[in-house]
């Protein structure tokens, strides 16, 4: 198999190819979802903020203790700093993350009556909340379509030849133009799951990739099926 040539691809052909890839990824990962655990919008917002520079598994491990102690913004805003630092300590950067949680919770109490807002323009005004975090919360806690441009998403859309943009906001708008709005949240899950399980940053499992025939970067990793299969993860990184 050779990499697909997209040098003469029209905008219509790009849309068709991108949507075909998403359909195949949806079949490959029927259980794709957010891999952070949460019970409500506040928990979704907090665990997403905490997930920076650590793994979802580690965040999920501290979540029960964190929300048992501080179940809502008012409780977390009034938290004892030392105790909060102790809880989030296993995640690394615990002082900075504690500061973020205290400021974020206080802003929710002071500006939104202790409720997480369900609009992008309000979310991004909160301390420590950018478009990526806001879109995670909108898509997963409020069922409002959003595109989550994390490192996996950005890497894959460039490898797949959907865009050459590197700025996350420009990537978001470029990809939004290829898919119906209703598909944005699940598209994000499909690509992130694929990036964590097969299309790795350093050594993608090209020979075990379900969308290889539509990928212009085919061959960036091992193409031998047996060798590639060894690189496939059954779950995201710990």
Q: Which of 22, 56, 97, 132 is catalytic?
A: 132
Catalytic residue among 150, 202, 203, 230: 150
Query: If we measure between CA atoms, which residue out of 38, 37, 41, 36 comes closest to residue 114?
Result: 41
Based on the residue annotation, tell me whether 181 is a catalytic residue of this protein: no
Residue 150 annotated among the catalytic residues of the structure: yes
Q: Give catalytic residue positions.
A: 132, 150
């Amino acid at each position: 198999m050779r990499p697909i040539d997209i040098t003469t691809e029209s905008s219509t052909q790009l849309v068709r190819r991108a949507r075909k890839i998403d359909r195949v990824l949806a079949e490959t990962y029927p259980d794709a979802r957010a891999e952070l655990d949460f019970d409500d919008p506040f928990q979704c917002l907090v665990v997403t903020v905490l997930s920076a520079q650590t793994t979802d598994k580690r965040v999920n491990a501290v979540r029960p203790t964190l929300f048992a102690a501080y179940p809502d913004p008012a409780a977390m805003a009034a938290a004892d700093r030392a105790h909060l630092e102790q809880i989030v300590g296993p995640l690394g950067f615990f002082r900075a993350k504690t500061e973020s949680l205290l400021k974020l919770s206080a802003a929710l109490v002071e500006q939104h009556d202790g409720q997480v807002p369900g609009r992008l323009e309000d979310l991004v005004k909160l301390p420590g909340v950018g478009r990526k975090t806001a879109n995670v919360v909108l898509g997963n806690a409020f069922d409002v379509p959003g595109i989550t441009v994390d490192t996996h998403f950005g890497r894959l859309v460039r490898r797949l030849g959907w865009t050459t943009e590197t700025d996350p906001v420009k990537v978001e708008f470029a990809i939004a133009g290829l898919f119906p709005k209703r598909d944005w949240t699940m598209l994000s899950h499909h690509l992130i799951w694929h990036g964590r399980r097969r299309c790795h940053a350093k050594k993608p499992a090209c020979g075990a990739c379900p969308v290889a025939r539509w990928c212009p970067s085919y061959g960036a990793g091992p193409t031998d099926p047996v060798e590639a299969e060894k690189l496939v993860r059954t779950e995201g990184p710990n």
